[in-house]
Amino acid sequence: MTADNPLTDYEAYLRLKGASPRTIELYLHYLGHLFQFLKVEPAAVSTLTTAQLRTYVASLQERGLADKSVASEVQAIKAFFHFLVDEGYLDGDPAARLPTPKVARRLPKTLTVEEVRALFGAMGGNSRVDGRNKVLFHMCYVAGLRIGEAVALRTSDLDLDEGVLRVVGKGDKERRVYLKAYTVELLMRYIEQSGVSDFLFPGRGRDHITVSTVESQFSRYVKRASIERRATPHMLRHSVAVHYLLGGAPITFIQQFLGHERLATTGIYTQLADEMTKKIALETETALEGIAKKDRGRVKEKGPRYEVQKDRWDRFVRQALGGKKAARWQPP
């Protein structure tokens, strides 16, 4: 371990493990806050106690941070101390019994099939940018890609003869996505017309298009498609998972398709599918809806007479339940 700053060793470990740059940045940011609050240099990490760590976590809650934010910081602290113990730098782990706030798991936001169709219908235009964007968002949906995965795609990741896409996800884990014929044709036409040879969606210079540019372009199409609620490009990944489930795909397929390590992570999409099924069941008009509406109309037409008969029935039931001699019920 580097004597002056053990965080340097931890950063190197995270990079070797394949953590994303964003994860590394957040973990080091959280740990920097910890040492600053406790007024302890990172080199003196072995002097920290469980009581001190608990005091820090309590300070986060006192500041009014959301449970999810506090839980993220606690996770970063636990991971750091677990690294120190695992590598033999500490004999005991002061963070082992650090309480983590329970965070209610929120359902991912999705787009309906109709909204997705409207969105892609709004991506018309013959400009080079519109052509690139349509292919990019098409891949986000049909391949269930995270935005970072989509912008980093290279032409070498495609095997158009076999219709297979190689995706490098979180932790540098690879997965294979099988593409349908119309997607392969779209990609072949795009590559031929755009002349791309390295990054599939190039930006300025030699790098790929940025995530912020993608998000800005997506917002433009959402507005053009008259989708009134807030929508992000990441929702395409969530949406296709739910749409596959509604189409009868097994949950294990969704797990492999999205590149989830644990099936429990994928399980939340079944709840989304249930919610969508419920919405469809309650809001879709079937053959009997018209008859039901007419029946309700007849009841309404009865007006006061119907209410009088209802009151007579209610009194009859109350008398019967109370053991009193009820008047003989005469139906209307």
Tell me the catalytic residues: 146, 170, 234, 237, 260, 269
**Residue position matching structure tokens 């394949």:** 18
For residue 174, count other CB atoms closer than 10 A to its CB. Answer: 10
Helix axes 113-121, 128-142, angle to 10 degrees: 160
- Which residue in 257, 255, 212 sits closest to 233, CA to CA? 212
Residue 50 and residue 94 in contact, taking contact as beta carbons nearer than 8 Å: yes
For residue 164, count other CB atoms closer than 10 A to its CB. Answer: 14
| End-to-end Cα distance, the chain | 90
Q: Which residues pair with 226 in a beta bridge?
A: none
Residue type, 215: E
- Which residue in 263, 256, 269, 241 sits closest to 144, CA to CA? 241
Tokens of 98: 């650090």
Phi, psi angle pair for 226, to nearest 5°: 60, 35
Helix ranges, the chain (H): 6-17, 21-38, 50-62, 67-86, 113-121, 128-142, 147-151, 181-194, 211-224, 234-246, 251-258, 263-266, 268-283, 289-302, 304-321
Task: Please give the C-alpha separations between residue 96 and each of 55, 154, 162, 172, in angstroms, as whole numbers.
Answer: 15, 42, 48, 28
